[in-house]
Each structure stands twice: as C-alpha cells, then as structure tokens.
Amino acid sequence: MKYMLIWRATDEALANMGDVDFAKMLEIVGRFNDEMIRAGVLVAAEGLDDAAEGVVVDYSSDPPVVTDGPYGETKELFGGFYILNVASKEEAVEWAKRAPITGPGLKTEIRRVSSIEEFPQDNEWIQKERAWREATGQL
C-alpha cells in the first residue's frame, strides 16, 4: 500500500527552521531519506517552494479567482511530502515518528494513496489512465 506523509508547519515553525544551518538540515534529512531507500519503502519525496511564491485557484466563483500567496487564512502550510510503499498504515506512522525534523508547530498528516485497481476497470477513463501508466512504466 502507498501512503503519503504530508509535512505541515506553522509560520512560526518555518521561521524557526530558518535558524538551522542548511547544510546540516540536508545531512539530517538525507540520512533519513537514505534509511527509507535502503528499507525499500521510499517511492517519492519532494519539498515545496515558499508559499509566498505559490498561488491559489479558488473555484467558489465562475470564473475561478487566482490569489497570490502567502495564504493569510492558513494556519499550517504544506511544506513537502513523502510517498512510501509500506505494508500498513501503522508502518507509515512508524516512519513518520522517526522523522528527523520535529518540534512545536510541525506535523505530519498520513493518508493512503488510492490504487488504480480500486476504480471500475471497465470505465473508459480508467482504462486510458491504466494504458498511460503502463506506457510510462508506472504499472
């Protein structure tokens, strides 16, 4: 099963991380990533750019409204993610508990990633997606 570990942080926690030596942070996170690679569970991992560089597309109206970041109403920002291929939610939780960057205002949300096999296989759009995934080596 695949699980997404979503790293979230408050503005204050992000500001505090600015005080950490970047090379040291890369080493700490790199060691954790290497541990997951050696365990064979890491599928993908990405960090995200500063929220001030992002935009939000709000579909509450027609046409949708695009707003530049940062997002004033957000209490926690999504800062990056891992996708792990593990046997259970409990195993995903155990990996998250071992994360090297922790502290007040930092959280990890864990959500299972749906598999294409869970959707109706006779649906033409699912069949097209399956063909695309097979052609690109994702299945």
Q: Whats the size of the chain, residue-wise?
A: 139
| Structural domain range at position 36 | 2-135
In this structure, what CATH number is given to the domain that contains residue 41?
Answer: 3.30.70.1060
End-to-end CA, the chain: 14
Entry pTM:
0.82
**Residue reference for tokens 């649906």:** 123
Give the pLDDT band of residue 131 (cuts 50, 70, 90).
Answer: very high
The dihedral region occupied by 21, where left means phi > 0, alpha psi between -120 and 50, and beta the remainder, is beta
74-129 pLDDT, tens digit each: 677 788 999 999 999 999 999 999 999 888 888 999 999 999 999 999 999 999 99
**What's the domain count of the chain?**
1
Alpha helices, DSSP H, located in 40-88:
none
Give the pLDDT band of residue 72 (cuts 50, 70, 90).
Answer: low
CA angle 115, 120, 125 (to 5 degrees): 90
User: What H or E segment, with its residue span, contains residue 11?
Assistant: helix 11-17
